[in-house]
Structure 1
Amino acid sequence: MLVLIKISLVVAAFYFIYSRLFQNKDLSFVEFIQNLINYSSFSTNTVVVLVFLSILNWFFEINKWQALVSTVTEILWVEAKSQSLGALTASLFTPNRIGDYGAKAMYYLPQYRKKIMFLNLLGNCTQMGITTIFGTVGLIYFAHHHQPQLNYVGILIWLSGIGIIGLLLVWTFKTTWLNKQANTIYRLFGFVKRISNKIILKVALYSLLRYLIFTFQFYYLLVLFGIDMSYLEAMSAIACMYILSSIIPSIFIFDVIIKGGVAVYLFGLIGVSESIVLSIVTFMWILNFVLPSVIGSYHVLKFKFPKTTS
């Protein structure tokens, strides 16, 4: 049964990749290849640099996961690599990669799984925090220079609605569900307090390095496609793209489409063609998700449930 599940996950991941590349209505695969040939300055050296940046990106992600898990149990770097890449493949086709939480938890004994999922959340929140800090600065700069026509009233209404719904849920469940989960919540808070400042600083540093790497990678692709703009202008648009695509509420499986749509609008204000922007977003997705997923498929097929100690 486990073998069938593992094969199904790998097949689903590869079908997802195939659908995204060959059934994309916004950018056909043929047009993508033509753009790479006609509008870019790719060479063996530039491809090596791009792939190296992707390897570096995932190297720090694996280091971050190893640091987080060390608060529960010590794991080797190769084990952290197997878990990170395997979970990526298993969750690639899930909405906003929510399946990553469960996939990583499966590598551990049942008594550790809640903490592992919480550590995964902590790592993602740290990454989101870095994105928010740089994205806010970039958004202020970009809005001042390009005056994007954002629906600020709609954003305010949406945020207010989320806040009201959240308060209603807390009020509704505070005497039932919340009381039942109180012990779990207290244990999790106690667990967080026991995480050393050294680990927290490591996780924050790895998140920062990852952000700097993949934003520079996007900028490097802009240069390769011959887009003439200043570094500051390009990075402000890139920062805006990542923060806006992160906070947009979505039930879409294809989160890369969301990034593509946001990027098309923002870079369109600067004068970059839609086709080139979509090509860069697609190439970023191939470099940072497709290639690691191919490696991760091996780890999915090699997965075994942890052995219980007698």
Structure 2
Amino acid sequence: MNKNIKILLNYVIGPLVFCVLCWSIYTQLLRQQNWQVSLQHAWQAITGPDAWKLLLAVILIFANYGLEARKWQIVVKQVQQTSFAQAYKAVLTGTTLAFFTPNRIGEYMGRVLYLGEGKRIQAISLTIVCSMGQLLVTWIAGIGGLLYLMTYGNTQLLHTFAGPWMKMVLYFTLGAATVLTLFYFRLAGLVRWVEKISWLQKPVAYIRVLESLNATILIRILSLSVLRYSVFLGQYYLLFNVFDVHITAAQVAGAVSVIFLILSIVPSLAVITDLGVRWKVGIEVVQLFDSNISGILATSLGIWIINLVVPALIGSLLILGIKVFNNRK
């Protein structure tokens, strides 16, 4: 991406969008009854009797990234055998670079740094397959979540703004999920089709490795993606309990699946914008079941710190030990 465009996105447009979102959230918070008390309660909850739930949500980081590491280890062995520990480090390093790039595109480059130089470009296409599997699970779960919210959500809100946009998102996701499913299970056919295009002969050499991903491997990736998705839901459920957002497990699954769906289709300009979008989407969706906006904000912030900030910090330390950087020194 052009350097000037990156500067514009990260330092101008990104913060501007974040400020607009924060102002909208602030006005919604002021409309909440006894919002000061709710904020105080959210702060006190960190050291209260439910603090163990917050600790458990933090511990689940290891399961979250462990499952992702296993997925990456499975696909990348098509070009190079790697240990689970190396795969884990690669995933954390990718998270660090993704933290500072639009739409997390730096994640792919961060992971392949742990592979041999001649195999890194091939590994990028394999890493994309991992992302495709997780995205497919996110979209399918999101479709179920939208149907759940449209059936059991706050009737008054659904008849104003929420209802129309949910229907639009539902139809778009149905179409997109169908196309993605066809691409995911027909990767070999896609490679063969691209091979027939003369001006794409050179790039084909780097994606031909996708032909080695049979149905068994692809289903394993999907299964691990489902397990990882379940970890996300568990973390949200725990933090909603900690911050006094009173919703059932079914409501958590329905609401959070829609949150993830929206986050997956809304472009992320910068890391600060990502947090603002999480706050805004979380409020709009979860308030269909509970109006504790301060608790929803606290939960969204907690998830963002636990699943993105902490792993990114760990990954930043691991970057110092990567051979390619040591060689440059």
Shared fold, TM over 0.5: yes
1:131, 1:242 within 8 Å by CA — same for their partners in 2? Answer: yes
How far the C-alpha of 1:292 sits from its partner, in A, is 1.4
Q: Out of 279, 283, 296, which is 1:277 matched to?
A: 296
Cross-structure match for 1:289: 308
CA distance in 2, matches of 1:156, 1:212: 21
- Does residue 1:230 correspond to 2:236, yes or no? no
Cross-structure match for 2:85: 78
Cross-structure match for 1:169: none
CA distance in 2, matches of 1:154, 1:131: 17
1:107, 1:306 within 8 Å by CA — same for their partners in 2? Answer: no
CA distance in 2, matches of 1:239, 1:155: 13
Cross-structure match for 2:257: 239
- TM-score, length-normalised on structure 1? 0.75
Cross-structure match for 2:106: 99
Amino acid at match of 2:249: Y
How far the C-alpha of 1:204 sits from its partner, in A, is 1.5
Q: Out of 55, 59, 62, which is 2:62 matched to?
A: 55
Which runs of structure 2 are paired with 1:245-284 in the superposition (5 Å)?
A: 245-253=263-271, 254-284=273-303
Cross-structure match for 2:226: 208
Name structure 1 gaps, 5 residues minimum: 1-11, 13-19, 163-177
Cross-structure match for 2:5: none
Cross-structure match for 2:33: none
Cross-structure match for 1:66: 73
Secondary structure of 1:47 counterpart: helix
1:90, 1:300 within 8 Å by CA — same for their partners in 2? Answer: no
Q: Which has the higher helix share?
A: 2
Q: Deviations over 1:115-135 (max 9, x none)?
A: 111111110110011111111
How far the C-alpha of 1:307 sits from its partner, in A, is 11
Amino acid at match of 2:43: I
Aligned residue pair count: 268
Amino acid at match of 1:38: Q
Structure showing greater relative contact order (alpha-carbon pairs closer than 8 Å, 6 or more residues apart):
1
- TM-score, length-normalised on structure 2? 0.71
CA distance in 2, matches of 1:236, 1:157: 17
CA distance in 2, matches of 1:249, 1:282: 19
Cross-structure match for 1:9: none
Name structure 2 gaps, 5 residues minimum: 1-9, 11-17, 27-36, 177-196
CA distance in 1, matches of 2:170, 2:225: 29
2:50, 2:242 within 8 Å by CA — same for their partners in 1? Answer: no
Which runs of structure 2 are paired with 1:5-24 in the superposition (5 Å)?
A: none
Cross-structure match for 2:164: 150
1:108, 1:305 within 8 Å by CA — same for their partners in 2? Answer: no
Q: Deviations over 1:124-159 (max 9, x none)?
A: 110011111111111111112233233379769999
* Compared CA separation, residues 274 and 231, structure 1 to 2 (3 A): same
* Compared CA separation, residues 152 and 143, structure 1 to 2 (3 A): closer
CA distance in 2, matches of 1:153, 1:266: 14
Q: Deviations over 1:102-122 (max 9, x none)?
A: 222333334312211111111
CA distance in 2, matches of 1:157, 1:202: 28
CA distance in 1, matches of 2:172, 2:53: 42
1:139, 1:240 within 8 Å by CA — same for their partners in 2? Answer: yes
Percent identity over the alignment is 23
2:279, 2:297 within 8 Å by CA — same for their partners in 1? Answer: yes
Q: Deviations over 1:144-180 (max 9, x none)?
A: 2233233379769999xx9xxxxxxxxxxxxxxx632
* Compared CA separation, residues 51 and 118, structure 1 to 2 (3 A): same
Secondary structure of 1:216 counterpart: helix
Q: Out of 32, 43, 53, which is 1:37 matched to?
A: 43
Secondary structure of 2:163 counterpart: coil
How far the C-alpha of 1:44 sits from its partner, in A, is 5.2
CA distance in 2, matches of 1:248, 1:200: 26
CA distance in 2, matches of 1:264, 1:297: 31
2:42, 2:244 within 8 Å by CA — same for their partners in 1? Answer: no
Amino acid at match of 2:115: Y
